[in-house]
Chains A and B, each alone.
Chain A
């Protein structure tokens, strides 16, 4: 892997105390059209037993970030810099053998579409048991028993017979339960759930989110929940990070970000989503335009071509200077508007729309 951990980051203050600490992470892909800056200088932390919701649209870098944590990017065409520390262990640049031991054991992943993410050629039991055997050295019999135990835990009926079924014999909701069973089989300390309910119906989505929450309470797992649905994070996460064009544009607790959002993009997301009680008959307020190309990012703030509040920033900094995510801790945004302006715009213009 072409990676260079910045030496000064290893001694970054406060960075090592969290269970998962990501510092200045950048992921770049070389393509024929140019270098794609999929993730750009991203920093965040996750504590044990809590859930961080990462919200963003396609191309915002949310999935790329998490594949980088697991070390799943192809080193032949990607370049990863910065630092990812899991329980103090540096993952950027770690040898593949080390990462293999961590994947599925200390950190695991739940993918979006369980139909394509589970192997069609192996039984559910074999796929769950395989992870367990790999990391614990258990026998086939023990692994099978453990698979049945996990299937019971995630609420699959008749686990002793369903363990020998193939994924195509399961319904969508059950497949996602099986996927969760597989990712939790070694009691990982960190679970990354990448759009775990996007492919599911609302009633099943509610079941799956409840299940994740219960399992988290029982096992004290740290969860990163990647989603485009602010409703899903509102129900499950403690903190939210909103990503746009490979960068964090807003970060805070669920209450801070959803109740008093301060970034124009978050405002856009919230007011473009209809809800069950808001006014009807008025048009939605979408974010103008389309997401930027990650090969040719706009200068300054990457959101500036779609932003409605450009003129309010003194000195036109939006098109020249990239705003940092500030302050360091607590509710932070990457926007040149002053905090007074943000407050004012939200209360005067945005809040009334949300109903």
Chain B
């Protein structure tokens, strides 16, 4: 297992290096000149050259990449903007901020949103899915299946405003979404995120219900489940000890990947509820042509997905003894 983790981590570093090169190349492929953008209204060619020089845009691209890349490990000096400590993802001339600081500032929002809704959709999704599988073909199953079909076809930009209207504006039952750090005010953190959690997890619950149901149904028709019944195991232990054990592999795999994607920024949800997380940050930086910020956000999102993939593979090996990691 240790061998596997070390090997996969080294592989992950290679992947991330490639991703960083590609995103960095895109930086130059986009028809926007960061120097021109920072130049202001009255932009003389001298000014432009000066800015270009201060942004190091006059250097060869490989050298620029090297500065950026080594900065992640060693930190980097941005002259007037100050010194950027490692891990340094560069300086945003648009925001006039160190990118690392912005990322650190925004990440807790996304993390809170993801973890909170993941807890909800895992509990309800898996629970409903197992119930439906247990009552296969009966009314409970049919209700759960059709409800989840409807819910999973909802879109956040529909469900979000609807929920805001129903739960906040017209009834005042819940608070308007806002992010307060949990360290400052746990109750405010909870109430501020409750509506986004509910909306985001509604759709994901539906997906997990469907997935859990179908993999449980599949497992229940396996030969070894029949064997367990033939040995006199009770319906309950057949369901939990055998079928659920088999279904877990699929669910953990999908969840790991979903988690990585969500942590990279639930773009539409954050945008709908005005939460300043990584998703919102990526939209803003695209809108403002903040190229160095885009590269930074992409790198963080890519890292989260790569890491969660490794975790999924390791978890899968723990669940299924047939998978040997090497």
Contact yes or no, B229 A72, CB < 8 A: yes
Contact yes or no, A104 B231, CB < 8 A: yes
Q: Mark A108-127, 1 if CB is under 8 A from B, else 0.
A: 11010100111111100000
B42 at interface by CB-CB < 8 Å: no
Contact yes or no, A116 B224, CB < 8 A: yes
Expressed in whole angstroms, the Cα–Cα distance for A120 and B232 within the complex equals: 19
B245 at interface by CB-CB < 8 Å: yes
One of A129-137, A276-284, A306-314, A325-333 contacting the partner: A129-137
Q: Which residues of B contact A117 (CB under 8 A)?
A: 223-224, 226-227
Q: Whose C-beta in chain A lies nearest to the C-beta of B226? A: A72
Expressed in whole angstroms, the Cα–Cα distance for A72 and B230 within the complex equals: 7
Contact yes or no, A121 B232, CB < 8 A: no
Contact yes or no, A121 B223, CB < 8 A: no
Q: Whose C-beta in chain A lies nearest to the C-beta of B225? A: A119
Q: Which residues of B contact A166 (CB under 8 A)?
A: 321-322
Q: How many residues of A contact B (CB 8 A)?
A: 29
Expressed in whole angstroms, the Cα–Cα distance for A344 and B137 within the complex equals: 55
Contact yes or no, B230 A104, CB < 8 A: yes
Chain B interface SS verdict (over half): helix
Contact yes or no, B229 A134, CB < 8 A: no
Q: Which residues of B contact A182 (CB under 8 A)?
A: 231
Q: Looking at the assembled complex, report how far the CB atom of B16 sits from the nearest CB atom of chain A, in whole angstroms.
A: 34
Contact yes or no, A120 B227, CB < 8 A: no
B319 at interface by CB-CB < 8 Å: yes
A338 at interface by CB-CB < 8 Å: no
Q: Whose C-beta in chain B lies nearest to the C-beta of A135? A: B232
Expressed in whole angstroms, the Cα–Cα distance for A243 and B146 within the complex equals: 44
A76 at interface by CB-CB < 8 Å: yes
Query: Which chain B residues (219-277) contact chain A, with CB distance < 8 Å?
Result: 222-224, 226-235, 241-242, 245-246
Expressed in whole angstroms, the Cα–Cα distance for A131 and B229 within the complex equals: 10
A96 at interface by CB-CB < 8 Å: yes
Partner of B322, one of A113, A116, A168: A168
Q: A130-B233, A166-B322, A168-B321 are in contact. Are A121 and B227 (CB under 8 A)?
A: no
Q: Whose C-beta in chain A lies nearest to the C-beta of B324? A: A168
Q: Looking at the assembled complex, report how far the CB atom of B65 sits from the nearest CB atom of chain A, in whole angstroms.
A: 47
Q: A76-B137, A166-B322, A168-B322 are in contact. Are A120 and B231 (CB under 8 A)?
A: no
Expressed in whole angstroms, the Cα–Cα distance for A71 and B180 within the complex equals: 58
Partner of A103, one of B137, B230, B322: B230
A225 at interface by CB-CB < 8 Å: no
Expressed in whole angstroms, the Cα–Cα distance for A182 and B228 within the complex equals: 11
Contact yes or no, B231 A103, CB < 8 A: yes
Contact yes or no, A118 B224, CB < 8 A: yes
Q: Which residues of B contact A131 (CB under 8 A)?
A: 231-232
B320 at interface by CB-CB < 8 Å: yes
Q: Which residues of B contact A118 (CB under 8 A)?
A: 224, 227
Expressed in whole angstroms, the Cα–Cα distance for A271 and B119 within the complex equals: 65
Q: A102-B232, A134-B233 are in contact. Are A116 and B319 (CB under 8 A)?
A: no
A85 at interface by CB-CB < 8 Å: no
A146 at interface by CB-CB < 8 Å: no
Q: Which residues of B contact A101 (CB under 8 A)?
A: 232
Contact yes or no, B228 A119, CB < 8 A: yes
Q: Whose C-beta in chain A lies nearest to the C-beta of B224? A: A119
Q: A111-B223, A116-B224 are in contact. Are A121 and B229 (CB under 8 A)?
A: no
Q: A96-B235, A117-B224 are in contact. Are A108 and B137 (CB under 8 A)?
A: no
Expressed in whole angstroms, the Cα–Cα distance for A120 and B320 within the complex equals: 7
Partner of A111, one of B227, B245, B321: B227
Expressed in whole angstroms, the Cα–Cα distance for A314 and B137 within the complex equals: 50
A336 at interface by CB-CB < 8 Å: no
Expressed in whole angstroms, the Cα–Cα distance for A101 and B231 within the complex equals: 9
Query: Which chain B residues (186-245) contact chain A, with CB distance < 8 Å?
Result: 222-224, 226-235, 241-242, 245
Expressed in whole angstroms, the Cα–Cα distance for A101 and B137 within the complex equals: 27
Q: Which residues of B contact A122 (CB under 8 A)?
A: 241, 245
Q: Which residues of A contact B246 (CB under 8 A)?
A: 120-121
A70 at interface by CB-CB < 8 Å: yes
Expressed in whole angstroms, the Cα–Cα distance for A120 and B241 within the complex equals: 12
Q: Looking at the assembled complex, report how far the CB atom of A73 sits from the nearest CB atom of chain B, in whole angstroms.
A: 11
Expressed in whole angstroms, the Cα–Cα distance for A113 and B226 within the complex equals: 12
A105 at interface by CB-CB < 8 Å: yes
Q: Which residues of A contact B222 (CB under 8 A)?
A: 116
A201 at interface by CB-CB < 8 Å: no
Expressed in whole angstroms, the Cα–Cα distance for A217 and B322 within the complex equals: 37
Q: Whose C-beta in chain A lies nearest to the C-beta of B230? A: A109
Between A and B, 30 residue pairs with Cβ closer than 8 Å are: A76-B137, A100-B232, A100-B233, A101-B232, A102-B232, A103-B231, A103-B232, A104-B231, A104-B232, A105-B232, A108-B231, A111-B226, A111-B227, A111-B230, A117-B223, A118-B224, A118-B227, A119-B224, A119-B228, A119-B245, A120-B224, A120-B320, A120-B322, A121-B242, A121-B245, A131-B232, A166-B321, A166-B322, A182-B231, A183-B231
Mark B residues whose CB is within 8 Å of A: 137, 222-224, 226-235, 241-242, 245-246, 319-322
Mark A residues whose CB is within 8 Å of B: 70, 72, 76, 96, 100-105, 108-109, 111, 113, 116-122, 130-131, 134-135, 166, 168, 182-183
- Of all A-B residue pairs in the complex, the 9 with the closest CB atoms, nearest first, are A104-B232, A104-B231, A103-B232, A116-B223, A119-B224, A131-B231, A109-B230, A117-B223, A166-B321
